[in-house]
Structure 1
Amino acid sequence: MTFLKKVFIFVSFISFMGCAVVVKEQAPQKSGKVAVCHKGKDTLYVDESAVKAHLDHGDYIGVCK
């Protein structure tokens, strides 16, 4: 059984039980990428060289909450 099929079955079961489920995307497997919360609502994965520019205009390192 593939990973995505297992996740779908799990999410379907949890949804059936009446619980809310939030699925966060996984970080890309490429090296040199950093998760940045852009404008407080969109998680971007940017090159390490672009992190400072994002921090300078108020973004923060990590996934958006």
Structure 2
Amino acid sequence: MSLLEKALVIVSMVSFFGCAVVMEEQAPQGSGKVAVCHKGKKTIYVDEAAVKAHLGHGDYLGPCK
């Protein structure tokens, strides 16, 4: 069983202007993946190692709304 199968991933970010955002995302049980809204259009599930890269190009943690 991987860490993400039971993990609650919490990401906190603070902007240059001091605005803080905290996101929580529960990994789907048994998947070992984290939900990411990709390009603002499609929810994808990625490995923990890929989260930083997705956040770095504008995707955000959690399902698309």
Shorter chain as denominator, the TM-score bin is 0.5 to 0.7
Q: Which has the higher helix share?
A: 1
Equivalents in 2 of 1:49, 1:39: separation in Å? 18
Instruction: Structure 2: give runs of 5+ residues left out of the alignment.
Output: 1-26
Between stretches 27-36 and 39-48, larger displacement belongs to 27-36
> Offset of 1:32 from its aligned partner?
2.4
Deviations 1:8-52 (A, max 9, x none): xxxxxxxxxxxxxxxxxxx74334210000000000000011000
Taking structure 1 as the reference length, the TM-score comes to 0.54
Higher relative contact order (CA 8 A, sep 6+): 2
TM-score (norm 2): 0.54
Match of residue 29 from structure 2: 29
Corresponding residue pairs, total: 39
Say which one has the larger Rg: 1
Match of 2:46, SS state, is strand
Root mean square deviation of aligned Cα: 1.6
Q: Hey, which of these two has a bigger chunk of strand by percent?
A: 2
Structure 1 residue aligned with 2:50: 50
